[in-house]
Chains A and B, each alone.
Chain A
């Protein structure tokens, strides 16, 4: 869902504004990917991103009743909240936002919806490295990786596709992660991408 789509009058926005836990859950299901993407513009390291994402949703929960579904789309409201929270977290750590973060927010931090230049440049390089990595894998591991990476399959879907158990698909993922950590090129890519 685009954050600026007209959800102001939707049941999602209304339920969120009610302050119900279920309303927050619906908003999370609809907007969590956007929140993560917005947070990534402020924080590079995964652990910091995850902590910031949690803070954003906790703040959203505290402010649920202040959201006016008649005044702004929920996505735009959450986007502005995310930008403010991330700046606040950085300030609390005595840090400045990254260079591509505007000093002032206009239009409810709409800049956050533009793709990060780093991400777009990175994507084509990552594809080449991943292709090389997959080509060197045994058939079963390659199938797991393709299923997860290309098709976004869950453990259950992977298990069904490979005619194996969920436990084995989890094991294979774990094994893949360990193998990837021993691949210098892939590891360097990951470190560069997320500041790891």
Chain B
């Protein structure tokens, strides 16, 4: 890494995101460049009353789990979450509305098309003042509806770092929130999407998993262990 202009450009937020990522990785290991960067940043803060690095927000958001960032830009995350939660969600079969998927679509199956006994997925819903109810279960009956006034939560059994993902008809993917029930009073759109239970390889820590997700393809880090189909009706 040469001194001079690249450091000035980084300080002023003029580097392209990829170049900035490489530059910051270099700063982690190069004391001389880091010292020069610190000096220039301090000067820039003095001269231009810059409170933070100009590229701070972009860098912070780029470091969030990559899959969500992409989906958020596409607007899919918001749609999918709302669609899954706010509409009448029929697992496998839409009750009276929409098409009825083939029974095979319902079955949770491994990435190699064989069922995985160590993974299961349940959909719960709750109205104010009422107890939590089980709406659908994969594998199992796999059918149910959720109203707009309900909270909904997915729960899955399996390895600790397993994640549930949704995929819409266009192949866009979003991760289901890990914790807590989500209000159904969000903007919705009808549609049919797959639920995937993705399980990472053994030995990964949560931190290592996040790092891997930021830099490697999803299928490589988190292969599909099981999946089913949800149909969201108006």
What residues of chain A have their CB less than 8 Å away from a CB belonging to chain B?
18-22, 24-25, 28, 32-33, 36, 45-47, 50, 53-54, 57-58, 61, 65-66, 126, 130, 145, 148-150, 152, 170, 173-174, 176-178, 180-181, 186-187, 189-191, 193-196
The answer, among A54, A149, A196, for a CB contact under 8 Å with B35, is A196
* A181/B61 contact (C-beta < 8 A), A20-B78, A36-B51, A174-B12 known: no
The answer, among A24, A47, A66, A177, for a CB contact under 8 Å with B43, is A177
The answer, among A57, A177, A195, for a CB contact under 8 Å with B11, is A177
Residues of B within 8 A of A145 (CB): 47-48
* A47/B38 contact (C-beta < 8 A), A21-B69, A32-B57, A173-B12 known: yes
Asked if A149 and B48 sit within 8 Å, CB to CB, the answer is yes
Interface residues of B in 1-42 (CB under 8 A from A): 8-9, 11-12, 14, 27, 34-35, 37-42
Asked if B134 is an interface residue, CB under 8 A from chain A, the answer is: no
Residues of B within 8 A of A130 (CB): 46-47
What residues of chain B have their CB less than 8 Å away from a CB belonging to chain A?
8-9, 11-12, 14, 27, 34-35, 37-49, 51-53, 56-57, 59-61, 63-64, 68-69, 72, 77-78, 81, 177-180, 182-183
Asked if B38 and A195 sit within 8 Å, CB to CB, the answer is yes
- A162 to B177 alpha-carbon distance, docked (Å): 49
Asked if A32 and B56 sit within 8 Å, CB to CB, the answer is yes
- A50 to B40 alpha-carbon distance, docked (Å): 14
Tell me the smallest distance from the CB of A31 to a CB of chain B, in Å.
12
Asked if B60 and A196 sit within 8 Å, CB to CB, the answer is no
Asked if A177 and B40 sit within 8 Å, CB to CB, the answer is yes
Asked if A28 and B57 sit within 8 Å, CB to CB, the answer is yes
User: Chain A residue with minimal CB distance to B206?
Assistant: A62
Q: Which one of A25, A176, A181, A196 has the highest number of Cβ atoms from chain B below 10 Å of its Cβ? A: A196
Asked if B12 and A47 sit within 8 Å, CB to CB, the answer is no
User: Chain A residue with minimal CB distance to B49?
Assistant: A149
Residues of A within 8 A of B47 (CB): 130, 145, 148-149, 176-177, 180
Residues of A within 8 A of B59 (CB): 50, 54
Asked if A65 and B48 sit within 8 Å, CB to CB, the answer is no
Residues of A within 8 A of B60 (CB): 28, 53-54, 57-58
Tell me the smallest distance from the CB of B60 to a CB of chain A, in Å.
5
* A148/B49 contact (C-beta < 8 A), A22-B78, A32-B57, A190-B43 known: yes
- A36 to B100 alpha-carbon distance, docked (Å): 53
- A148 to B48 alpha-carbon distance, docked (Å): 5
Residues of A within 8 A of B49 (CB): 148-150, 152
The answer, among B44, B53, B64, B78, for a CB contact under 8 Å with A58, is B64
Subset of 27 A-B contacts with CB under 8 Å: A18-B182, A19-B182, A20-B77, A22-B78, A25-B61, A28-B61, A32-B52, A33-B51, A46-B38, A50-B53, A53-B52, A58-B60, A65-B177, A126-B46, A145-B47, A148-B47, A148-B49, A152-B49, A170-B12, A174-B9, A174-B12, A177-B12, A180-B47, A189-B46, A193-B42, A196-B38, A196-B39
- A20 to B59 alpha-carbon distance, docked (Å): 18
Asked if B39 and A187 sit within 8 Å, CB to CB, the answer is yes
- A126 to B49 alpha-carbon distance, docked (Å): 12
Given A21-B68, A193-B42, A194-B45, 12 more pairs with CB closer than 8 A: A21-B77, A46-B53, A50-B41, A50-B53, A53-B52, A57-B60, A176-B47, A177-B12, A180-B46, A191-B42, A195-B38, A196-B41
Residues of B within 8 A of A148 (CB): 47-49
Tell me the smallest distance from the CB of A163 to a CB of chain B, in Å.
20
* A177/B44 contact (C-beta < 8 A), A18-B183, A50-B56, A170-B14 known: yes
Residues of B within 8 A of A32 (CB): 51-52, 56-57
Asked if A65 and B43 sit within 8 Å, CB to CB, the answer is no
- A47 to B14 alpha-carbon distance, docked (Å): 16
Residues of A within 8 A of B46 (CB): 126, 130, 180, 186, 189-190, 193
